[in-house]
């Protein structure tokens, strides 16, 4: 579900803006964690503790945002390299 939402939002927002990507990552983290929290309450009859939930979610949103800053350029470079290898017609002779 997380990937589906990211795929839908990818078409509407620019992939070049790091601020947009970070905000999307933070927002999707909140939505995902809220869904897990609600399922946990419904399925396991857990008690509702809003303050502890918010504290954990805020920490996770900050961590995921920082992780996105570090990992996204690496993923983008690997993606461009794979795209270059795939689109090159001499794949076998060039790399093997």
Distance separating alpha carbons of residues 41 and 61, to the nearest angstrom: 21
Domain ranges of the chain: 2-70
Q: Is the whole-model pTM more than 0.75?
A: no
Q: What is the pLDDT of residue 74?
A: 93
Nearest residue to 7 via CA among 28, 26, 23:
28
Q: What is the pLDDT of residues 14-69, one digit of tens each?
A: 667 788 888 889 999 999 999 999 999 999 988 889 999 999 999 999 999 999 99
Distance separating alpha carbons of residues 60 and 70, to the nearest angstrom: 15
Q: Look up residue 90 and give its DSSP letter.
A: -
């Amino acid at each position: 579900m997380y990937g589906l939402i990211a795929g839908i939002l990818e078409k509407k927002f620019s992939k070049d803006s790091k601020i947009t990507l970070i905000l999307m990552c933070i927002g999707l983290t909140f939505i995902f964690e809220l869904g897990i929290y609600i399922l946990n309450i419904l399925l396991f009859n857990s008690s509702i503790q809003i303050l502890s939930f918010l504290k954990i979610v805020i920490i996770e949103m900050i961590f995921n945002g920082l992780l996105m800053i570090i990992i996204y350029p690496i993923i983008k470079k690997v993606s461009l390299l794979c795209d270059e290898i795939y689109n090159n017609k001499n794949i076998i002779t060039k790399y093997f």
